Homo-oligomer: A and B are copies of this chain.
């Protein structure tokens, strides 16, 4: 980006809405000349391609046309059973009646919003939070109640204070493991506290948990549904297996599953049958998932370690706590005068896509934050991308100085 173009940008920053801002960055990041540290997608080289290939063939051989037929709205029984087993390992014991198979966890969020939120209802969530959730809640015309968070996740004492002061959210939304974007790990005591608050105040606690298997040191805490029946878990397989099958589990009390299934029936009848059978077969293979998750953790841990070292080594202007899991580095710019919503477009012009912090916040200020995904880009390209980001930073910092001094 030329200095004059950059000056124009600083004088009149684009006022896109949050999701548009990120959509624009992701669209630009699809340019093959751009190195993307922006996406929230898992590394395709981590997908169990051979296992999926074998499972797909096995499913068609074993189930034949039944794998291609309409199937129940709640999910194919074999998939519900396999997902109930998975849920039971990390939370309350679940039977199939606690499982709704959804077309990805995003659909779980959307079904919750459509089923439980009327216009003006309140949803409490950490600030910052996941944009896809914010989008689903906004579409239901909910009021968002941002709750402060730290490295241990949502500050449940702050939530309790708001509840005591009269706030009555219908839903409280958290990302328990390796939060997107912040990387936070919601602690065990806070989980129990949230469950207690859910029972006392009658809200549903929504645990959106796509990164739970990606703890670099294997840490994984049990779901709050051990403590309360008012917990809804969204068990994505997008990071654990792969996203493209669009098969996820929503785990909740049976009446919640029934209510959401009625909404889903009108939304898309059911989740794709073939993908459900493939997932059921993969999960039924003894030892497969545990082995795959162990290799995933090693894969992401190694890549994150190298990326962190590169950032520390080359971008001295960037501050961050190394993540303990998940796909992201949540960073801030040390110089308070250089804003991430200025840096991000300059970086894109320099050939590297990064996401500024602002869009993730409901109330807080993300102007110093940047979210960097280390997950999908091979090391050599990361090296180039980091160099481009550094060059963009230097140009923006120089422009800020020019702007401030009026030169």
Contacts and interface: CB of A to CB of B under 8 A. Distances in A.
Interface of A: 19, 41-42, 44-45, 47, 49, 52-53, 56-57, 60-61, 64-71, 102-104, 106-107, 110, 132, 135-136, 139, 238, 242-247, 263, 265-275
Contacts of A61: 53
Nearest to A137: B266
Contacts of A64: 44, 49
B245 A106 contact: no
A66 to B, nearest CB: 7
The interface centre, meaning the residue of A238, A268, A270, A273 with most chain B CB atoms within 10 A of its CB, is: A268
Given A56-B60, A57-B57, A104 B244 contact: no
Contacts of A47: 65, 68-69
A60 B55 CA distance: 12
B104 A269 contact: yes
Contacts of A106: 266-269
Nearest to A269: B106
A65 B270 CA distance: 25
Nearest to A273: B244
Given A69-B242, A245-B274, A135 B44 contact: no
Contacts of A69: 41-42, 44, 47, 242-244
A269 B266 CA distance: 17
Contact of A70 (B60, B244, B272, B273): B244
A267 B49 contact: no
Given A136-B266, A272-B103, A274-B275, A60 B53 contact: yes
Which 10 pairs, one residue from A and one from B, show the smallest C-beta to C-beta distance? Answer: A244-B273, A44-B65, A68-B242, A246-B272, A68-B244, A107-B268, A103-B268, A47-B65, A70-B243, A135-B266
A104 B70 CA distance: 10
Contact of A66 (B19, B44, B68, B135): B44
Nearest to A267: B110
Contacts of A268: 102-104, 106-107, 110, 246, 268
A44 B42 CA distance: 35
A2 B100 CA distance: 38
Given A44-B65, A244-B273, 17 more contacts: A41-B70, A42-B69, A44-B68, A47-B65, A49-B68, A68-B242, A69-B243, A70-B243, A70-B244, A103-B272, A104-B268, A106-B268, A110-B268, A244-B272, A246-B269, A267-B267, A268-B268
Nearest to A102: B268
Contacts of A71: 244
A143 B87 CA distance: 41
A303 to B, nearest CB: 16
B275 A272 contact: yes
A272 B272 contact: yes
Contacts of A272: 103, 244-247, 272, 275
18 contacts: A41-B69, A44-B69, A52-B68, A53-B61, A56-B57, A68-B243, A68-B244, A69-B243, A70-B243, A71-B244, A103-B246, A110-B266, A110-B267, A132-B266, A245-B272, A245-B274, A272-B272, A272-B275
Contacts of A45: 65
A61 to B, nearest CB: 8
